Structure 1
């Protein structure tokens, strides 16, 4: 699968896309098998391992009802030195109490023991239905099978094993030219629903053969997540299980140093990969037919711009208008005004792909070509800009439309 398929995320200079997955960077093995957790019989248990001690960084959900794998990782795993991750789909192991935490610990113990990795360096992740215990008899045998299937060619199977309501796999790899040589970044993710900012509902696994200390990886991952995973919305629901892992094997022999041009080049490449995955989640959003890039400018500060963007992106009225191909700018300005309740009257400009529909908080008086506007609303990607005229800060966010199919999928999804 190609990473750079959206015009909202062009490939950066110095970055070459290549066929691949999480095992494309040197030093990584992966597998994905069917343990019988999903009734469909599809792959539902994956294992990703770095063959040598690695440095890592992890960002996790802010949900107060965080799932057992998240709480166990936070309290018992050395998140700066993750060398392996065992993950299942089909069952979130969330809201399962101490029993669920024990199940998460057992997954770590089994995966670590079979791969000869220190338990404190083996992480665990889950995704799926909330409130149900894992079928541990199947998980136990599944982990044994996943260990036996570990391979440098196992990235595709791993990517498939983490999917739930996703229609498409989300994975890819790039090669980045640095002063000391070339490094690779491989990645995969899952996510199509329950997607909101501050860790969209998703699991993401990113690997690189660059060398870097954990604190440096933490900073570059946090920055990449801010412009990607934390800047998308499909339905505004924050998951209990979200997490993104970045693991560096160092096998390329090229090391990243704070403040260097190489670090800047790597950071740009990493964020572009993360944004590609995030945009694919929005495009693959349950029932989605459109991806909207919303840019809020003219805010007093970045926080204000982000607040306006998020309120607009979560509005069912806004999102159904895009599904109906209706350039109903009134719904956008109403949502923006709600985000700024109590503030002076809002005199915003609103433009769809450069076609200005509102100026100063009222309908624009210039003529609009109906055919051109219709073509804009028919497109699969639509860029919208709202200028608040309150300051000099901006924020960019991506969201999907809201369709009949979204309701059908979630009404029929097992709870």
Structure 2
């Protein structure tokens, strides 16, 4: 699917089967920079976080990275001291193979919470990954990241910095347990631009806030969520920072890649067949708008109504009301796309059939105006069908 995509200069990637999953499915991935790369990261805010998240947070303080090694199938979460040792062993083995310091390796895991990592499979898998990374294997890398995903997720942006070509390539996995702030998702952003570490961290955080932190599939926040960015400078440009002439173009390109990956995650939501944009405006503040939008997006009553092509605006009113946002019932307007269902807090004169036409689409919007101020927010979500239950049973 992504066989025609080439990595930014100085980056290689690979995906292999290490036997963590059955039937030869690819379950380990590698992203390797031939040169020391500036690093940035954003992680789950869950108080229960996996061993690799703890190790990555520590390694991020080093500021320089050479590789990301990850496994799918087992999350290495809630695994105690043994899990920390296993995550550190993954980093140490990768560092030994590449010839760098362990703190220059990021390690990530995704999958079932509880079991210990099978290091007897993972350690040999690391060597196989580095052997495979002699070529570019974007498709294999993207597939190896997947758990309940139905398809791999890769995004590309190209731009000019100082008149020289620069590329950004991003990977992501995620389909379930998706709720801001981030979710059961991993994402890796690579670029051959040179970027100062503090600027890269700031740009990544802003991009994540407008993308991965604006999506919700099932309202469940995970233990392993990680977004990492590596900038290796192989394009031979001067290091960018927020005062650079080309900074705006670089930041826009990073936001584009993160946003496209986030939308791919929602479109691949577990058991979902409808993509829903929830927009709130006229709130007392941007924070209130976000509270209201998240409440609508996370409501299982709303998600199941959308699955059944049932335009139950009463459920939307209800979720707005308990959202903690300031709401004056008599001022609320609700639209399904451009079709008004609620005017001044009460049912509009629209025919039910017109609303059904909207929610029968595979892509539609719920637009809400609270008429209380200038606050606005958008959250991207999906419906919830019986298939979600089957996947998670």
Confirm or deny: 8 A CA contact 1:337 1:346 kept in the other structure.
no
Q: Residue in 2 aligned with 1:12?
A: none
1:391 aligned to which of 360, 367, 373: 373
Q: Residue in 2 aligned with 1:313?
A: 297
- 1:293, 1:363 → 2: CA distance? 21
TM-score of the aligned structures, taking structure 2 as reference length:
0.95
- 1:114, 1:290 → 2: CA distance? 45
For residue 285 of structure 1, report the CA deviation from its aligned partner.
0.7
- 2:23, 2:87 → 1: CA distance? 23
Give CA-to-partner distance per residue, 1:217-237, whole Å, 9 cap, x none.
111111100011000001111
The aligned runs of 1:160-309 (5 Å cut-off) are: 160-255=143-238, 256-309=240-293
Q: Secondary structure at the match of 1:83?
A: strand
Aligned-residue Cα RMSD (Å) equals 1.8
- 2:43, 2:77 → 1: CA distance? 14
- 1:393, 1:129 → 2: CA distance? 39
- 1:207, 1:131 → 2: CA distance? 30
For residue 79 of structure 1, report the CA deviation from its aligned partner.
5.4
1:64 and 2:61 correspond: no
Q: Residue in 2 aligned with 1:14?
A: none
For residue 182 of structure 1, report the CA deviation from its aligned partner.
2.3
Q: Which runs of 5+ in 2 are unaligned?
A: none
- 2:337, 2:296 → 1: CA distance? 17
Q: Secondary structure at the match of 1:321?
A: helix
Larger displacement relative to structure 2 (176-185 or 121-130): 176-185
Distance 1:79 1:378, change over 3 A: farther
Q: Secondary structure at the match of 2:172?
A: strand
How many residues are paired up?
392
Distance 1:30 1:341, change over 3 A: closer
1:82 and 2:65 correspond: yes
Confirm or deny: 8 A CA contact 1:180 1:254 kept in the other structure.
no
2:316 aligned to which of 328, 332, 345: 332
TM-score of the aligned structures, taking structure 1 as reference length:
0.91
Confirm or deny: 8 A CA contact 2:283 2:326 kept in the other structure.
no
1:401 and 2:383 correspond: yes
Give CA-to-partner distance per residue, 1:208-258, whole Å, 9 cap, x none.
111110111111111100011000001111110000011111111234231
- 1:400, 1:79 → 2: CA distance? 38
Q: Secondary structure at the match of 1:24?
A: coil
- 1:127, 1:45 → 2: CA distance? 10
Confirm or deny: 8 A CA contact 2:330 2:346 kept in the other structure.
no
Give CA-to-partner distance per residue, 1:306-364, whole Å, 9 cap, x none.
11111111111101111111221111111001113786545211111111111111112
Give CA-to-partner distance per residue, 1:110-132, whole Å, 9 cap, x none.
00110112211111000000000
